[in-house]
Amino acid sequence: EPEVTQTPSHQVTQMGQEVILRCVPISNHLYFYWYRQILGQKVEFLVSFYNNEISEKSEIFDDQFSVERPDGSNFTLKIRSTKLEDSAMYFCASSFDRVNSPLHFGNGTRLTVT
Amino acid sequence: KNQVEQSPQSLIILEGKNCTLQCNYTVSPFSNLRWYKQDTGRGPVSLTIMTFSENTKSNGRYTATLDADTKQSSLHITASQLSDSASYICVVSASERGGADGLTFGKGTHLIIQP
């Protein structure tokens, strides 16, 4: 069964550094998402992406964050200047349609900011 | 404010037993309700999606129910197995946005199956 893959599985970075989290969504999916989950808390929506542009973003997704689909297969999340509170598990997800298809999640990148 | 509350927070049962997890939501307007299973250190995996008109849906030993009038859902697990140990997350979608960007997640029920 096709799956969403994320790399790296764990990223450690120093405060103020830039990080890029990478995702390869399922190939025939059209909608792409980033979510985050701070340890022990609920999953939170960051951003959705469709037709090569952001369709929705949450309050968390401020100017420090950006997303890109550079080559038709990869989907990246960049955090320009990491803060301690950015430490979390970041999940990429994709779906075939926007409303009633199940979301397929990757296994996440654990980001640790020191 | 849209909210999803799950109970119990955690549950321990013996292998082979059944259990029921609860979800109450105050999401409006309602589009669909989803249950996900999340193994430790992994991404959530979809179990069921139910729209307003559906009141029960099964996926193997998992059966979800939905009462849109009382805004409650349950997930029943039959004949539990050790591999069912995971967090079970209730997620509700608001129809104004409808899609996965309009999802409200619960905190999950942490289920432990003991041999």
Contact B8, B23 (CB under 8 A): no
Closest B-chain CA to A55: B101
Evaluate whether B31 touches B55 at the Cβ level (below 8 Å).
Answer: no
Judged against a pLDDT cut of 70, whether residue B100 lies above it is answered with no
Q: Encode B81-103: b = buried (16+ Cβ within 10 Å), e = exposed.
A: eeebbbbbbbbbbbbebbbbbbb
Q: Does residue A44 carry a pLDDT above 70?
A: yes
pLDDT over 70 (residue A43)? yes
Which residues on chain B are in Cβ contact (under 8 Å) with A2? none
Q: Point out the residue among B41, B46, B97 whose CB comes nearest to the CB of A103.
A: B46
Report which of residues B114 and B95 the model is more confident about: B114
Average confidence (pLDDT) over A65-88: 94
Contact of B94 with chain A, judged by CB distance below 8 Å, is answered with no
Which residues on A lie below 8 Å from B3 (Cβ)?
none
**For chain A, percent of residues with pLDDT exceeding 70:** 100
| Per-residue pLDDT band at B78 (split at 50, 70, 90) | very high
Report d(CA A14, CA A34) in Å as an integer.
Answer: 22
Q: Which two tokens stand for residue B92?
A: 């509700």
